Amino acid sequence: MRGDRAGIETDRPPLTHEPRQEGGKGGKAPATAAKSAPRLLSAIGVLLGCFTALLGLLYFILAGAVLGAFLLWPHTRGRAYTVLSAGARRLTLLDRSRRSAFFYDTFPDHHSSDRAVLSYLAARTYSGLLCSIVVGLLVFGVMLAGLLTAGIFRSTLTWQELLTQLVLGSVLLFLDVQGLYSLTALDTRLARECFGPSEHEVLVRRINELAASRAAVVQAVDVERRRVERDLHDGVQQRLVALAMLLGRARRSKVPGQADALLEQAHKESQEVLTELREVAWRIYPSALDNLGLQEALGGVSERCSIPTRIEYDVPGTLPTPTETAAYFVVSEAVTNAAKHSTAQDIFISVQRYDTHLAVLVRDSGIGGADPTGSGLTGLHSRVAALDGRLDIHSPPGGPTTITAELPCA
């Protein structure tokens, strides 16, 4: 059934916004969590952070006692600084392992400078010791709460004393929890700044990505122009030449009835020329996108495809024009490739909106083995990358072929 909107389940979900380990494209966040760590595990990680902070304090005290004089003497300062940084780096790696094990953080392969490592260890030691004090106050408050509860059961407290203790305890509990929350956030931020690329490196990487995306878009436009020229030259132009020859023969014909037959053949040829010209125009830019919207344009793709196609479309609201155009061309190119090369029996198209991004999925039941480096798919990569989107092509030998695109909507 073509153009069917009946919802069906897919065995390959659309792409979602997963944090990027290289820091993303919009900011500095190299340390990302693949999933939220359980609260108990996070609490253990916070307590171990207090212990590693104590180790950092002991290291600075011992290193200062042993290397202090060498750090002050210019002739030995460089070597002593190297030794101090090497020990600090080992403690930093221990803290990195703690973040990965108890907070599910993942960090890119990045070599921090000795200065960055020492700065991180010093800041981490300071914040960890503060966290130890806050945890100690929280434990002390719990003990006082236990004594207060025991006093209530023994009826040794008046209502005024109980009310005062409850108010003070609530305020202290709030301050303790807020302190723990702030120090945990500071711990995360320090880890990101140390274990991830610097802001300058993120900006350089972003500039390189934009330059590569711009070059790819220019190349894709050139490829598309060549394809349009080839379609016009090899298809429409040849048919127009044949049409002109038929009309010329009909005009010169002296045999009764032959002119009518040639004119009828020319009329059929003109209809085929119009059909092919319309196909070329649709490949350049479908007017239905502006007039009817993305859903109807995809319905046109389904109607023109020789393979039975099912469509699941769930996009509330309106989409930005660049997003609609990119989604259309992803579907159109994927369906065209499937019809030409896959020998598929059916094609499934899913277009769904998830908050700030549009997920497009095209899956055929063909033989697979699609070449991601082909001109058509390369052009799709460039078009999607120009919008800061992502394109995934999964086409193992034997099939099925699944093309999934994630396009921003905001």
Contact 401, 350 (CB under 8 A): no
Supply the pLDDT for residue 361: 92
Q: Beta partners for 390?
A: 406
What's the start-to-end Cα distance of the chain, in Å? 33
**pLDDT tens digit at each of 410 positions of the chain:** 333 333 333 333 344 333 333 333 333 333 333 455 678 888 888 888 889 899 999 998 998 888 888 888 888 888 888 888 888 888 888 888 888 888 887 777 767 788 888 888 899 999 989 999 998 888 888 888 887 777 777 777 677 777 777 888 888 888 888 888 888 888 888 888 777 666 666 777 778 877 776 776 666 666 667 777 776 777 777 778 877 887 888 788 777 778 778 778 888 878 777 777 766 666 666 666 777 788 888 888 888 888 888 889 988 888 888 888 888 888 888 888 888 877 888 899 999 988 888 999 999 888 887 777 666 677 777 778 878 888 888 888 887 888 999 988 86
Contact 188, 31 (CB under 8 A): yes
Q: How far apart are CA 229 and CA 219, in angstroms?
A: 15
In sequence order, what are the residues at sequence separation of 6 or more whose Cβ sits closer than 8 angstroms to the Cβ of residue 126? 53
Q: Taking the CA atoms of the chain, what radius of gyration do you get in angstroms?
A: 34
The string of DSSP letters for 125-150 reads HHHHHHHHHHHHHHHHHHHHHHHHHH
Supply the pLDDT for residue 107: 73
Supply the pLDDT for residue 251: 80
Q: How far apart are CA 370 and CA 380, in angstroms?
A: 14
Supply the pLDDT for residue 22: 37
- Strand 347-354, strand 309-314: pairing: parallel
Supply the pLDDT for residue 58: 92
Q: How far apart are CA 132 and CA 336, in angstroms?
A: 63
Token pair 């069917």 is at which residue? 4
Q: How long a stretch of residues is the chain?
A: 410
Contact 135, 50 (CB under 8 A): yes
Rounded to whole angstroms, what are the CA distances from 107 to 42, 199, 206?
17, 15, 18
Q: How many helices (H) and strands (E) does the chain have?
A: 11, 7
Q: How far apart are CA 291 and CA 244, in angstroms?
A: 34
In sequence order, what are the residues at sequence separation of 6 or more whose Cβ sits closer than 8 angstroms to the Cβ of residue 24? none
CB atoms within 10 A of CB 270: 15
